[in-house]
């Protein structure tokens, strides 16, 4: 049995690490380079950095910071935020990223996924999809959750696959930073419609939730608050399950 990936998902605002709740109210949590060093020591499977202002403010992605992060990181680095052209995809890989995450640009220009996958390979291209639950439906949003997408979730998933995405990263806006558990129904709904891996993000309260995400159909479990806060008062303390804890969560590798 191959153990599912466990992925810290960290948000960048300028060069600072921040954490949000439901994509709002950012709180400063520390230095990006220091976090990378700690996750190196913890032997994290992979790490995601998302520049939360790059798309909304049309600001340039901080490729210099990504280059410094990639030089320091022992694990694969995936980056996203404001990457809306093949040139920016190329710059991200040149800076040392191993995967590029595309969100808003996927909705406005799905052809970018095809172009990027053809040049760099599907395995390096991740489509990120943000959803909110409205009534009994899950609606898709972009631009940091501010703009509703005029496609259904199922249509977005199919389009991403057809265009050549190697993975889907699903962000549950309602659960972001709330530490109220993953939405198992949402994970099951999405994974049943995909033939490519699903990374689930949003809501993890404890390490047990990582197993729940995988049992519900995710290929990998990502989280922010879980890996940067500790205790009932959410003291800032970067953490990650060690090998023994991974075995307790997922069982022994075979």
Residues annotated as catalytic are 130
Q: Record the tokens describing residue 187, joined without a space.
A: 């994970």
In which region does residue 119 sit, left (phi positive, over 0), alpha (psi from -120 to 50) or beta (all else)? alpha
E-only strand ranges, 54-166: 77-80, 99-102, 125-134, 137-142, 147-148
| Spatial distance between the Cα atoms of 21 and 45, rounded to a whole number of angstroms | 25
Q: What is the DSSP string of 135-193?
A: TTEEEEEETTTTEE-SS-HHHHHHHHHHHT-SEEEEEEGGGTTT-S---HHHHHHHHTT
């Amino acid at each position: 049995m191959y153990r599912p990936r466990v992925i810290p998902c960290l948000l960048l605002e300028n060069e600072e690490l921040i954490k949000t709740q439901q994509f709002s109210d950012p709180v400063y949590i520390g230095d990006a380079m220091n976090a990378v060093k700690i996750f190196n020591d913890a032997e994290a499977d992979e790490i995601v950095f998302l520049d939360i202002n790059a798309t909304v403010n049309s600001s340039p992605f901080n490729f210099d910071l990504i280059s410094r992060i990639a030089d320091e990181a022992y694990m694969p680095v995936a980056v996203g935020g404001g990457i809306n052209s093949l040139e920016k995809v190329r710059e991200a890989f040149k800076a040392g990223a191993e995967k590029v995450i595309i969100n808003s640009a996927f909705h406005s220009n799905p052809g970018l996924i095809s172009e990027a996958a053809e040049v760099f390979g599907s395995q390096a291209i991740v489509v990120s999809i943000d959803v909110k639950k409205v009534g009994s439906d899950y609606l898709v949003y972009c631009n940091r959750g501010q703009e509703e997408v005029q496609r259904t979730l199922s249509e977005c998933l199919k389009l991403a696959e057809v265009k050549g995405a190697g993975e889907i990263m699903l962000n549950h806006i309602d659960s972001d930073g709330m530490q109220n558990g993953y939405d198992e129904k949402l994970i099951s709904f999405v994974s049943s419609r995909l033939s490519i891996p699903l990374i689930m993000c949003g809501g993890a309260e404890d390490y047990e939730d990582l197993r729940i995400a995988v049992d519900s159909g995710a290929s990998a479990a990502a989280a922010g608050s879980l890996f940067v806060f500790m205790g009932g008062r959410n003291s800032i303390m970067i953490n990650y399950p060690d090998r023994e804890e991974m075995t307790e969560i997922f069982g022994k590798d075979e």
